[in-house]
Chain A
């Protein structure tokens, strides 16, 4: 057992740990179930890589995203600036925030919009007045249609993808993994990590799904070959 340390001056800590330890005294009486013993935990994290053609994973990703009512575009690198510009104008986005690590060429075509380039240093205020945000992502998960943000320079701090109503996320095909079990071989937790699977939603009223409550109500994913 690890030794108790620093916050050992909290009497409740000592009490809880001793209650837990005396509870565990019964360990040997653990009722057997289908698995023998407790320490035989397999390698739950072993990525299950389904050997599939790259395109298949991308197709799956796109299909699941569409199921979430996200708008999905697929372009090649050359077509990216035009695609982004088209999305911005068709959504009627008048003001944009981008993290300062986002490749300038990706959004240089957006034209007449008010643009805030956030370097993450200022106070986190005022973003609720901005219409949209463009970010990259650390990786994306095909099976669940998930975008993974982890505070990288082209993703920015969390607040900029939270308050604006439109989130345009640019996903490179090589960043798409098949399933959740592969996630932490790609992404660390030294920054906050946010998994986004479709736009914000609630089913709290008569189980009827309503897209968009507090987070961005519109999610646009641009997949780049």
Chain B
């Protein structure tokens, strides 16, 4: 990587040293992993479902233009209004102008990664509109002015007493609370209920949009989604262009795949489906904002395209040995973990996101659990090549790899190199094993201990003991 000190190797360091964070992460990811394993094992045809899920996503992406047009016309037929946004800033403007048209200065929000990607809350607040997050974890994050660290349990890095202190300072001013999660959940229930009953406008994301019928699907656990989708007069839902499924029966496949992969439940407590505006039931106005924000460029990359299969279940985070140790903040992106490592560098231009394809051991655990069979290791390697080809490699690194390739491509040179190193052993042995080497290899030893050099190399030992 380039010499600048941004990117995963730097952002992850302090997190890895935080043993409390690591303990929290380990217990959380272990617990969800086990739950997932149990409910997935119940489904005899799980692998078939994954294949179907993959096929459906592939079909949608391969004909995305016609599915988008079809979705638009279906949504309009049932009374919804469709807006198109090339990028995040256009999507923000659309949402804001809808809010302003209704003369409102507050909206309630259902947890949505897409609106996080847009930076919608910040945009609205700069323009005088307060967006209230209503998912418990998102509320915690918002009140603490913090950033989410997990797709599914964004406040996974906070423990109960931190949350108690936060709530006492903010939403339940003056009342003292215990740190029992049930008590804390109750405090948020009381605070948010008033918001739900008074809000005129809600903003949500979209889990799936059914092209055939114009039906939008949002899955959730707490009921805050149902509140937002039912009570306000105006509903604005924002989706990336890839969130389409062709038919209701296709949707059913994902309703089997998603909850088991995500929370490790057979089904999440609440799933809401609506098609445009339903007279006498729910919002009187429905707006669907369809946002590209560089997804079309991802589509154009034949290897990268599968990244858009993602249904944001977060199963890949929970099995990732890197995520388990670094946590979500180290990725410095709305999308952490293995999916973040492949999605962020394709969507965002930042220098830090270009380091993410290396934030992996390529162990392949993510591919194994992914409900839509995204070959994450394949995309990681592809993106590494891409980033390097764009010139994001320091001169010294290029030099090192040139030497390495010269040494490794010839048996004689390899032998020679080993001989030289073994002669230099006395030098290396003087180094404390935890110290870092100077010069070119210094970066490597910054984060790794130098292995002890054996007395003789394998090749020497082989020749000696097998005698040739």
Write the residues of chain A forming the contact surface with B, with a CB cutoff of 8 angstroms.
1-7, 10, 12-13, 15-17, 19-27, 29-31, 33-35, 38-46, 48, 64, 68, 120-121, 124, 128, 141, 143-146, 151, 157-159, 162, 179-181, 183-184, 189-208, 210, 212-216
In the complex, whether B142 has a CB less than 8 A from a CB of chain A is no
* Contact call A35/B305, Cβ cutoff below 8 A: no
Contact of A192 among B68, B263, B273, B306 (CB under 8 A): B273
Task: Tell me the minimal C-beta distance from B445 to chain A in angstroms.
Answer: 37
Task: Tell me the minimal C-beta distance from B283 to chain A in angstroms.
Answer: 10
Cα distance A151–B55 in the bound complex, in angstroms: 32
* Contact call B267/A145, Cβ cutoff below 8 A: yes
* Contact call A20/B68, Cβ cutoff below 8 A: yes
Task: Enumerate the 10 nearest inter-chain pairs by beta-carbon distance, A residue then B residue, closest first.
Answer: A45-B249, A215-B223, A214-B223, A23-B299, A23-B300, A19-B296, A144-B267, A197-B267, A204-B137, A195-B271
Cα distance A53–B69 in the bound complex, in angstroms: 44
In the complex, whether B270 has a CB less than 8 A from a CB of chain A is yes
In the complex, whether B269 has a CB less than 8 A from a CB of chain A is yes
* Contact call B223/A205, Cβ cutoff below 8 A: no
10 examples of A-B residue contacts, CB within 8 angstroms:
A5-B69, A7-B84, A33-B54, A120-B281, A189-B248, A193-B274, A196-B270, A204-B136, A205-B136, A213-B222
Secondary structure of the B contact surface, majority rule: helix
Instruction: Name A209's closest neighbour in chain B (CB-CB).
Output: B181
Instruction: Name A67's closest neighbour in chain B (CB-CB).
Output: B266
Instruction: Name A159's closest neighbour in chain B (CB-CB).
Output: B230
In the complex, whether B184 has a CB less than 8 A from a CB of chain A is yes
* Contact call A193/B273, Cβ cutoff below 8 A: yes
- Mark each residue of chain B from 51 to 92: 1 if its CB lies under 8 Å from any CB of chain A, else 0: 110111011001111101110110010000011111000100
* Contact call B181/A20, Cβ cutoff below 8 A: no
**Residues in B neighbouring A193, C-beta threshold 8 A:** 272-274
* Contact call B269/A199, Cβ cutoff below 8 A: yes
**Residues in A neighbouring B302, C-beta threshold 8 A:** 26, 29-31
Task: Tell me the minimal C-beta distance from A206 to chain B in angstroms.
Answer: 6
Cα distance A20–B282 in the bound complex, in angstroms: 33
Cα distance A192–B235 in the bound complex, in angstroms: 14
* Contact call A23/B266, Cβ cutoff below 8 A: no
Instruction: Name A216's closest neighbour in chain B (CB-CB).
Output: B223
**Residues in B neighbouring A128, C-beta threshold 8 A:** 193, 197
Cα distance A4–B84 in the bound complex, in angstroms: 13
Task: Tell me the minimal C-beta distance from B303 to chain A in angstroms.
Answer: 6
**Residues in B neighbouring A213, C-beta threshold 8 A:** 136, 185, 188-189, 221-224
* Contact call B281/A1, Cβ cutoff below 8 A: no
**Residues in B neighbouring A64, C-beta threshold 8 A:** 266
- Mark each residue of chain B from 128 to 157: 1 if its CB lies under 8 Å from any CB of chain A, else 0: 000000111100100000000000011110
- Mark each residue of chain B from 1 to 35: 1 if its CB lies under 8 Å from any CB of chain A, else 0: 00000000000000000000000100110011000
Task: Tell me the minimal C-beta distance from A93 to chain B in angstroms.
Answer: 19
* Contact call B59/A39, Cβ cutoff below 8 A: yes
The range of chain B's interface size is: 35 or more
**Residues in B neighbouring A141, C-beta threshold 8 A:** 267
* Contact call A201/B222, Cβ cutoff below 8 A: yes
Cα distance A210–B256 in the bound complex, in angstroms: 23
User: Do A144 and B227 contact each other (CB < 8 Å), given the known contacts A12-B90, A30-B305?
Assistant: no
* Contact call B222/A200, Cβ cutoff below 8 A: yes
* Contact call A214/B189, Cβ cutoff below 8 A: yes
Give 4 A-B pairs besides A144-B259, A204-B185, A206-B24 with Cβ atoms closer than 8 angstroms. A1-B66, A189-B275, A203-B153, A206-B160
* Contact call B58/A35, Cβ cutoff below 8 A: yes
Cα distance A45–B252 in the bound complex, in angstroms: 7
Instruction: Name A1's closest neighbour in chain B (CB-CB).
Output: B66
**Residues in B neighbouring A206, C-beta threshold 8 A:** 24, 28, 159-160, 181
* Contact call A184/B249, Cβ cutoff below 8 A: yes
In the complex, whether B344 has a CB less than 8 A from a CB of chain A is no
In the complex, whether B241 has a CB less than 8 A from a CB of chain A is yes
User: Do A179 and B256 contact each other (CB < 8 Å), given the known contacts A207-B153, A210-B182, A214-B226?
Assistant: yes
Cα distance A179–B156 in the bound complex, in angstroms: 32
**Residues in A neighbouring B280, C-beta threshold 8 A:** 120-121, 157
* Contact call A198/B76, Cβ cutoff below 8 A: no
Contact of A7 among B72, B86, B267 (CB under 8 A): B72
Contact of B69 among A4, A45, A46 (CB under 8 A): A4
- Mark each residue of chain B from 167 to 179: 1 if its CB lies under 8 Å from any CB of chain A, else 0: 0000000000000
* Contact call A180/B222, Cβ cutoff below 8 A: no
Instruction: Name B303's closest neighbour in chain A (CB-CB).
Output: A31
**Residues in B neighbouring A34, C-beta threshold 8 A:** 51, 373
* Contact call B282/A214, Cβ cutoff below 8 A: no
* Contact call B282/A192, Cβ cutoff below 8 A: yes
**Residues in A neighbouring B256, C-beta threshold 8 A:** 179-181
**Residues in A neighbouring B268, C-beta threshold 8 A:** 197
In the complex, whether B375 has a CB less than 8 A from a CB of chain A is yes
Instruction: Name A193's closest neighbour in chain B (CB-CB).
Output: B273
**Residues in A neighbouring B210, C-beta threshold 8 A:** 189
